[in-house]
Amino acid sequence: MKIGYIRVSTQEQNTIRQEVMMHELGVDELYIDRASGKNTDRPELKKMMDYVRRGDTVIVESISRFARNTRDLLELVEQLTDKGVEFISRKEAIDTTTPTGKFMLTVFGAVAELEREYILQRQREGIEIAKQHGKYKGRKPIEHPDFDEVVSRWRKGEITAVEARKRLGMSKATFYRKVK
């Protein structure tokens, strides 16, 4: 079977271009994640990895849609190989059934990771320049008008920390950091 895997970074991004490509390739099953590729903790990726079996071929539009760093990419492809599953990336024309394909996978994986690092570096530089020009002030602090009253009641033991956090709409970490 031909198994297609599609990933976009956010819920708002469109998958149609990748879906059309998969349809044209005659993909039998399709898995679509709308999540960051920063790690392999993606629900549809996990389902696909559990589903595939010997003789299947996993097809992706590009390596960057499958994994964002070389280690994750190579680990995923190794898991596929151990199951007897082929891996094809259309954009980079990689086919892991050949030694050259395996070599190119490693090279392109490293290039994709380098590209991601460059993007992050440019983003950090842009934020720093914006800060210098007073145009970037960071995330707005979480402020609640009843914070002091709720914390006071919590400290007196009138309400639990869970109740206090619920009333303030704060995560555990944020709550304890702010009451320090």
- 29 and 3 in contact (C-beta within 8 Å)? yes
DSSP 132: H
Q: 147-156: long-range contacts at Cβ-Cβ below 8 A with a sequence spacing of 24 or more?
A: 147/178, 151/179, 154/179
DSSP per residue, 36-91: -SSSS--HHHHHHHHH--TT-EEEES-HHHH-SSHHHHHHHHHHHHHTT-EEEETT
Is 9 among the catalytic positions? yes
Q: Which of 9, 89, 152, 171 is catalytic?
A: 9
Q: How far apart are CA 83 and CA 92, in angstroms?
A: 23
Q: Which residues are catalytic?
A: 9
